[in-house]
A = this chain, B = another copy of it.
Amino acid sequence: MSTLKGACIIGQSGGPTSVINASAYGAVKAALDNPNITRVLGSLNGIVGILNDNIIDFGQEDKEQIELMKNTPSSILGSCRYKLASPDVDDTDYRKILETFKKYDIKYFFYIGGNDSMDTCNKISKFMLQNGYECRVMGIPKTIDNDLFGTDHCPGFASAAKYIATSLTEVYFDARVYDIGAITIVEAMGRNAGWLTASAALAANKGMGPDLIYLPEVAFDIDNFIESVKKVYEKENKCIVVVSEGIKDKDGKLISEYANANKAKDSFGHAQLGGLAAYLEGVISNAIPAKVRAIELSLLQRCAAHCASKTDIDESVMAGKTAVMEATSGTTDKMVGFEREYVDGKYTCKIKLLDLSSVANTEKKVPREWINEEGNGLKQEFIDYVSPLILGETDLVKEDGLPKFAKLKKVRA
């Protein structure tokens, strides 16, 4: 494979995670050290930064701040939900991107994101090829939803899972402190895939977690739900439930839509969710004479860097580094993926490369056989899957008792 010399640009897209900056850190560090990369650029707010020529130069940043990126939550370059049109329909954006690539001599494009971002990568790569511009494009996975196809798991998932399992363990202790009955309903993120909500089972597995867990993978029936809660409550005088924001009835209608019929849609056409826990709190209050409390984990679950998994951080850094190493060695149009291996019974994570086209717009869900028959709990298979991913504690730098996060100067290129 021929040597390709030029600048690289790194972008971040989609919802934030605790470790998306760890991947950026891995890529920036590897790129700064690579002789074939002449300049390390960052695109502000994902692809929008390239479209609007809003580009920073990582070479101008302080080393200390780059180091802090490893443990800083959210997307330090900013994110976007902008969806490129199909180039067959309208190639305006693609021509702008090509223009920017030419302007900065960008030969490498590293994009950290989820399904939609891999689709973006794929389209850009094809357009460049069709227009005779040599450029290597690599996707770096990122999603707390863990729903990317072809990879064993996704950077960002495990840290959010660790936070949810930790918080549910703590809520378990809190919610049963009084001698009166109490029902607690916790809402976790997850539109179509229940991986994150399912991670609450790690707490249940230790005997200190939720009694019932509902995922979008299984049709949600309100009457069954009430009966299950009643059964636990009558026995224990307490009941803790965790639900995915995206649970749906047998006709595929979101339960959150029962309360909010006309919800705004985001620019990808996803219904904006929220308020499900409060709705179910009402449902249970109506059916069972008990103190009911709704807790929505909201943004907290995806940005809790103080509770990140070391395994997740390390793997995220590795994903970023690998993308740079692979691209400079000749690889293009791939997403960095993970494969697990057990060496002497010990979990290890190996890299595999996936075709961007195979990843884009495909969702991986929790296998039905990992969910119990009643559809309200997880089986050992899921516990075995997720347990190694949450191991290890973050080495987050603290200052005055609070996390010290990176602040970039963001000098324009």
- Whether B177 contacts A75 by the Cβ 8 Å rule is yes
- Whether A179 contacts B270 by the Cβ 8 Å rule is no
**Whole-angstrom distance between the alpha carbons of A273 and B285 in the complex?**
10
| A203 is an interface residue with CB less than 8 A from chain B | yes
CB-contacts of A70-87 with B (<8 A): 72-75, 78-81
Nearest CB in chain B: distance from A88 CB, A? 27
| A219 is an interface residue with CB less than 8 A from chain B | no
Chain A at the B interface: mostly helix, strand, loop or mixed? Answer: mixed
| A35 is an interface residue with CB less than 8 A from chain B | no
- Whether A405 contacts B75 by the Cβ 8 Å rule is no
- In the bound complex, residues from chain B placing their C-beta under 8 Å from that of A402 are 162, 165-166, 169, 202-203, 206, 390
- Whether A401 contacts B391 by the Cβ 8 Å rule is yes
> CB-CB contacts of A258-301 with B at 8 A, as 1s and 0s?
11000000111011111100110111011000000111111110
- In the bound complex, residues from chain B placing their C-beta under 8 Å from that of A274 are 275, 278
The listed residue with most B CB atoms (<10 A of its CB), out of A72, A184, A286, is A286
- Whether A309 contacts B202 by the Cβ 8 Å rule is no
Nearest CB in chain B: distance from A396 CB, A? 10
Nearest CB in chain B: distance from A313 CB, A? 13
- In the bound complex, residues from chain B placing their C-beta under 8 Å from that of A390 are 400-402
**Whole-angstrom distance between the alpha carbons of A51 and B279 in the complex?**
38
CB-contacts of A389-413 with B (<8 A): 390-393, 398-403, 405, 407
What count of chain A residues pass the 8 Å CB interface test? 78
**Whole-angstrom distance between the alpha carbons of A162 and B402 in the complex?**
7
Partner of A273, one of B80, B271, B278: B278
**Whole-angstrom distance between the alpha carbons of A175 and B16 in the complex?**
9
- Whether A170 contacts B73 by the Cβ 8 Å rule is yes
- Whether A300 contacts B295 by the Cβ 8 Å rule is yes
A267-B273 in contact given A45-B178, A78-B179 (Cβ < 8 Å): no
- Whether B300 contacts A300 by the Cβ 8 Å rule is yes
**Whole-angstrom distance between the alpha carbons of A310 and B400 in the complex?**
12
- Whether A175 contacts B80 by the Cβ 8 Å rule is no
| A208 is an interface residue with CB less than 8 A from chain B | yes
**Whole-angstrom distance between the alpha carbons of A202 and B402 in the complex?**
9
Nearest CB in chain B: distance from A394 CB, A? 11
- Whether A80 contacts B178 by the Cβ 8 Å rule is yes
Nearest CB in chain B: distance from A53 CB, A? 14
- Whether B173 contacts A73 by the Cβ 8 Å rule is yes
Partner of A283, one of B268, B278, B398, B400: B268
- Whether B266 contacts A170 by the Cβ 8 Å rule is no
- Whether A400 contacts B405 by the Cβ 8 Å rule is no
**Whole-angstrom distance between the alpha carbons of A259 and B267 in the complex?**
8
Nearest CB in chain B: distance from A51 CB, A? 11
Cβ-closest chain B residue relative to A20? B177
| A48 is an interface residue with CB less than 8 A from chain B | yes
| A30 is an interface residue with CB less than 8 A from chain B | no
**Whole-angstrom distance between the alpha carbons of A296 and B300 in the complex?**
10
**Whole-angstrom distance between the alpha carbons of A80 and B275 in the complex?**
30
| A22 is an interface residue with CB less than 8 A from chain B | no
- Whether B286 contacts A268 by the Cβ 8 Å rule is yes
Partner of A169, one of B75, B270, B272, B403: B403
- Whether B270 contacts A78 by the Cβ 8 Å rule is no
Cβ-closest chain B residue relative to A180? B81
- Whether B167 contacts A304 by the Cβ 8 Å rule is yes
- Whether A273 contacts B266 by the Cβ 8 Å rule is no
**Whole-angstrom distance between the alpha carbons of A179 and B46 in the complex?**
10
**Whole-angstrom distance between the alpha carbons of A177 and B13 in the complex?**
10
Nearest CB in chain B: distance from A189 CB, A? 12
- In the bound complex, residues from chain B placing their C-beta under 8 Å from that of A307 are 306-307
Interface on A for B, CB 8 Å cutoff?
16, 44-45, 48, 72-75, 78-81, 162, 165-167, 169-171, 173-179, 184, 202-203, 206-208, 258-259, 266-268, 270-275, 278-279, 281-283, 285-286, 293-300, 302-307, 309, 387, 390-393, 398-403, 405, 407
